[in-house]
Structure formats: C-alpha cells, structure tokens
Amino acid sequence: MLHLAEHHGVTPLVYLALRDGAEGVPTSVRDELRARYEHNARRNLVFVSELIRVLDCLEAHAIDAIPYKGPVLAEAAYGDLALREFSDLDVLLRPADFARANESLKPLSYVPNVNLSSAQQRASLRAGYECAFDGPLGKNLLEMQWAIVPRFFSVDFDVEHFFERATLTEIGSHLVITLCPEDLLLTLCVHATKHGWVRLCWLRDIAAVTQLPGLDWDRVFSDAKELGFLRIVGVSLTLAIHLLEANIPDSAMRRIQTDPTIPALTDRVATDVPESEAYSTESLEYFRLMVNLRERVSDRPRFVARLTFTPSVGEWDVVNLPAPLYPLYRVVRLFRLAGRLLSLSPFHLTARVFPRPCHPCAQAFFDSFGISCCIHRAHHRGGDATRSRGFVQQGFQGNFFFPPRPDPISERMGARDESRSAVEAKLLRRGREHRQRMIAVAARVAHRECVELALRNFKDGTDVRQQIPNLLAR
C-alpha cells in the first residue's frame, strides 16, 4: 500500500483517511504514513519560500509570470499545502520573456539543466514547452514553461489569454496571479492526458478543481471545443467520477454523454491504472490512444505529422548540426521515433536503409546516431533493468550496426607495407578511441549502469572502472 500511495502521489491523502484509527491498519504503517506526511509538509513549505523568491526576482525584472500546479494548486484546490505532493515548481511565462527570465534567475543560482545553443533555444521555443532549471535546492527544481504541452501534441493554448484571465490567490501570505479555474481545469486535463492518466494524483487534482466556487462549466466546454479536445476533457472527468467518485454537475455530465466514444475510451484507460507503473508513454498503443482522443479529424494527421517531424533535445544530442542544416534533424527524429515505436534496434533499422558508408565521417555519424538511439531507449525503459541491459548490449557488442568486412587486417597489410601485429595494434587503438567517443555520447542520456556495462566490453584488459568518472564528466 505504501508503495502504491507513493507511486500515485496520494500519500498525504491516504494518511488523512487512515490517521483516525482505521481498523486493520498496523501501527507501523500508520507511523510511516505520518512520517511521510510530515516530511512532505516541511518540504512544501520550503518550496513555497523558493517560489516566492523566484516570483519576486521575475517581478523585479518586469517579467510577468503565472505559477500553477505545485503549492498554488495545493492551496487553491485542497485548502491545505500539506495535502498535495509535488517535486518542482511550474511557472508559466510568455515565450518572448524566456531569455530575460533565464538571465534574471542567474543571481539566484538557477541554471538550465540542458545547455542549448542559441539556434537550439530558438527551436525549443517554437516546438517545446518548458525548460527545467537546477537550483540551490536540487536538480530540476524549477520549470519555466511558455506552453502547456509540446507543439506535437496539437493542443494550441493561447498563453496571452491565460494572462488576460488570470486571477489573484494567496500563497505564503503573498498575493500572486494564477490561472483562472476554467483554464486550470483545462490544463490539468491535458497534462493528465499527456501522461496517460497513470497516476491518481492527476485525477484527484481534476476532481478538486471541479469543486472550486464559481467554475463556469459553459466556458470550460466551449474553450475545449474550440481547441479540439472536448473528448479529452470528457474522458478525464469520467475517470475522476468512476475512480474517485468526483461530484460533477448534471449539466456537465449531459455534455459528456453526447460523445458515444467516451465510455469505451474511459474503460480502456481505467484498465491500465492498476498496472500503471509499467505503462509506457512511448509505446505504439499510447500513440494510438492519443490519436483516438481527438474528436476533430483534422487534428489526427496534424498530431502524427508533428510528432514524427518535430525534433527536440533528444535529436540534438545525437549529432550537432550547424543552424543552416537544422531541417535535417527531422530525418534524425523520424528514425529515432521509428526505432522506438517498432521496437527495432536502431542499428538493425538503419542498416536496412543505408548501405555501409565508405567515408569515415559518414560512418562516425551513423555510429554515433545508433549508439545514442540505443542508449536513449535503454534510458527510457530503465524501469526494466533486464531490458535496459539488453538494449545496451545490442549497441556495444561487435561492430555497431554495420557488418565487418572480411579480414580487414589482411586488406590493410596488402595495401601497406606493415606487419600484422602493427596493423592489429593500430586498429585496436583506433577502435578503442572510437568506442570511447561513442560512450561519451551515450553518457549524456544514459544511466550510469548502462555506461558501466558498455565499458566492461572493452577487451584490452585495462581496469575500465577508473575511466568512468572522466567519461561521465565529458
């Protein structure tokens, strides 16, 4: 029970339900719940203090910012800061203000956790939706967002409207602006959908917001219809009703019932909740669900096209292209996505399409691409250690994804006046250097365990453990 409560982000609510001596609950479990509840309350108070510090800094630089989720949602929807778990602070701003916000936060020791070039940052502002910052209290502490979801999700909220309709709320004895109840409900529905509704805390947030006084249901449904995600809102509310017994007005229920696909979609999602820890948001089944959730036919091909051809940080990590060649990242994106969705090794997938490149630069590019794809897949499936090790092993066994030529040593001996031992030593050295470069690429996206596994495949007899810190620091 404790594990499930932690996974679903509802430990404080479980403690609240069981603290008054529920029958059959062991004392040790109740004590552990109380300890976790108190720890969460203390941590949330620290988060509030840090949020106010960030907002004061942005205000001093004349940057408008809307905090939402996190402590603001806890106070507004739950009425108690200690009843909601969160691990970061979400702040929404205008895209044009991001560069100034980035500079203004440096005196507070906040730095982006991914270093992007100016061209990559411009591309991220067009196609992405957030930038995570490491701060004095830990990594990924602050998320500066200029959209609610990535562009490929094809739900195009107007951020300017959020600022026009924002309301005042109190947090830590400070007045701050936040999303109006209607916009908050819509953004929470889309956020939960993006993650496949696999955690009950997201549905609990939705259920809590539906009880806010003055919520205009007509506006909720009209805005959702205009943006093309009325079905997403219907499924989210139906899940909240079925799983959490949320109290939704009859008028809203009648609007939901006009879509005959919602019951089947709701049942389909609800069956995944008990096994949500193993649910993959990169599976083909997930993307099929995302397509079926769009009621407007025109949004479906738009979602698929944007998903397929919109590059992101993952593609930029594979290869560093100059700004004029940025359109080529769409090709890299296509192959990485195909490798994940089809559950094919990137090595095998690319080898079937491309012949063995004869130019060393071309071969280095494809090797880097394949290694990064393989490690990226292992990283995103890190919950299954056996599968992760399998994916890494595919990448580091033998000759990457191009088959070896017959006896390359003999070929070189015939072309040059060198002994076999000299050629072997040279090839071994070059292969070792090449593999080190590949591992350095992999280390940017891989777990430490995956890098260690890759290093153990060196065959020159050295103590490779000594090389791990240097490789990870590159």
301-360 residue pLDDT tens: 999 999 888 888 888 888 888 888 888 888 888 888 777 666 444 444 444 333 444 444
Query: In whole angstroms, what is the distance from residue 388 CA to residue 378 CA?
Result: 4
Residue 453: pLDDT above 60? no
Place of tokens 């502002």: 125
Q: Domain extents for the chain?
A: 1-179, 181-295, 311-473
DSSP structure string for 144-159: EESSSS-GGG-----H
H/E run at residue 1: none
Three-state secondary structure call for residue 216:
coil
Place of tokens 């040593």: 409
Percent of the chain whose predicted confidence (pLDDT) is above 70: 70
Residue 405: pLDDT above 50? no
pLDDT of residue 81: 92
Query: In whole angstroms, what is the distance from residue 210 CA to residue 213 CA?
Result: 8
Q: Where are the alpha helices (DSSP H) in 260-407?
A: 262-270, 284-292, 299-309, 313-318, 329-341, 346-353, 360-380, 385-396
| Cβ neighbour number for residue 453 with a 10 Å cutoff | 18
Residue 18 binned pLDDT confidence (cut-offs 50, 70, 90): confident
Three-state secondary structure call for residue 338:
helix
pLDDT of residue 376: 44
Q: For the chain, state the CA radius of gyration.
A: 26
Place of tokens 């700004």: 323
Residue 403 binned pLDDT confidence (cut-offs 50, 70, 90): very low
213-228 residue pLDDT tens: 989 999 999 999 999 9
Residue 363 binned pLDDT confidence (cut-offs 50, 70, 90): very low
H/E run at residue 141: strand 138-145
Mean pLDDT of the chain: 79
Mean pLDDT of 129-141: 91
What is each CA distance from 222 to 219, 225, 227, 230, 232, in whole angstroms? Answer: 5, 5, 9, 8, 13
Three-state secondary structure call for residue 138:
strand
| Cβ neighbour number for residue 82 with a 10 Å cutoff | 18
**Range of lowest pLDDT (148-162, 195-209, 324-338):** 324-338
pLDDT of residue 279: 67
Packing angle of the helix pair 299-309, 284-292 (nearest 10 deg): 150
115-129 residue pLDDT tens: 888 888 888 998 899
Residue 466: pLDDT above 60? no
CATH topology of domain 1-179: Beta Polymerase; domain 2 (3.30.460)
**Range of lowest pLDDT (23-27, 54-58, 118-122):** 23-27
Mean pLDDT of 363-369: 44
Contact 164, 189 (CB under 8 A): no
pLDDT of residue 138: 87
pLDDT of residue 430: 62
What is each CA distance from 27 to 7, 20, 39, 131, in whole angstroms? Answer: 22, 12, 18, 43
Which carries the bigger pLDDT value, residue 275 or residue 414? 275
Residue 448: pLDDT above 90? no
pLDDT of residue 287: 87
* Pairing of the two strands 167-171 and 138-145: unpaired
Query: In whole angstroms, what is the distance from residue 193 CA to residue 198 CA?
Result: 9
Mean pLDDT of 373-396: 44
pLDDT of residue 19: 82
Residue 205: pLDDT above 80? yes
Q: What is the pTM of this model?
A: 0.72
pLDDT of residue 377: 45
Query: In whole angstroms, what is the distance from residue 65 CA to residue 95 CA?
Result: 11
